[in-house]
Amino acid sequence: MQYRKLGNSDLEISAITFGAWAAGGWMWGSTDRNDAIEAIKASYDVGVSSIDTAPIYGQGTSEEIVGEAIKGISRDKVQILTKFGMRWDLAKGDFAMHSKNNDGQDIDVYKYAGKESIIYECEQSLKRLGTDYIDLYQIHWPNSTTPIDETFEAVSRLIDQGKVRFAGVCNYNAQQMAEAEKTLNLVSNQIPFSMVNRGIEEETVPYCIDHNKSILAYSPLERGLLTGKITTDYKFQEGDHRAKLPHFQPEFIEKTNQLLDKIKPIAENHNASLGQLVLRWTIERPGITIALAGARNAEQAVQNAKAIDISLSKEELKTIDDLVNAF
């Protein structure tokens, strides 16, 4: 595994980081708790020392699973990345969505990052994770009802108390990052990026490169689409959010699979799967520090981690880049 420092911090995390959203079940059509725990343990065994989670993933379930999985691992050998600012138990801030919890009950989710809410959320996360500090604490989504300085003053307090080591953001644009920086040093921004979703390259990537902020790319496999395993007649499980997304409609699936067919020979040359090739390409992109990869079971987790073993030549990277640019 390769390990990369976040921003100007001394926090090193694995270039392939375990993304624990699907582990929480919520929006992914349920989860098997034991499989998820085994997936995290198996990825740790092959060098994936960093796990990204959030309270909203399964309304606490994902964080509990992460806490369970890291029991018995020396705490300084694993990096826990979690988030704050999405409440399903408090109707305050910006309304985000109607949803259902893992028991099928209706919930309303709000984006809220008020000071007292962050302090409360941190305590809950620490309990669920079974730890006394979080390595990277990230706001999950921008919240328009709370001044940015209020939000990051709260995070700053948590850092002073030793409950948080470093601060990051998710889904922030360059302007929002610059505003947050006035209050607190940020080390990273976690944003969606994939071969078929490259909007951040316009403004956010250049800002992060210029200001030495790391980018944690989430959904680098475009929620499974870039594995090549999704066909136009794919049947999604009940409760799987992907069924309604534009990227999972037959026309886009077909177009994506044509792109994947063109890069498949490169994967085959390296005895690698398409998913592994896509992950390796992602962390070779300018400004991208880390790729977050989710897994439902131990085998998937190990396969994701092995993406690091691929060594792409300049010619191969250019071939892929050209195909992606033409997409």
- Please confirm, yes or no, whether 57 is among the known catalytic residues: yes
Residue 236's pLDDT is 86
Closest listed residue to residue 232, CA positions, set 216, 211, 255, 209:
255
- What is the tens place of the pLDDT at every residue in 271-281? 999 999 999 99
- What is the tens place of the pLDDT at every residue in 103-154? 889 999 999 999 999 999 999 999 999 999 999 999 999 999 999 999 999 9
Which is more confident, 63 or 102? 63
Fold of the domain built from segment(s) 3-223+276-311:
TIM Barrel (3.20.20)
Residue 218's pLDDT is 96
Residue 213's pLDDT is 98
Which residue of the set 57, 112, 137, 218 is catalytic?
57
- What is the tens place of the pLDDT at every residue in 51-99? 999 999 999 999 999 999 999 899 999 999 999 999 999 999 999 999 9
Q: Span 237-266, mean pLDDT? A: 91
Residue 237's pLDDT is 82
Residue 30's pLDDT is 58
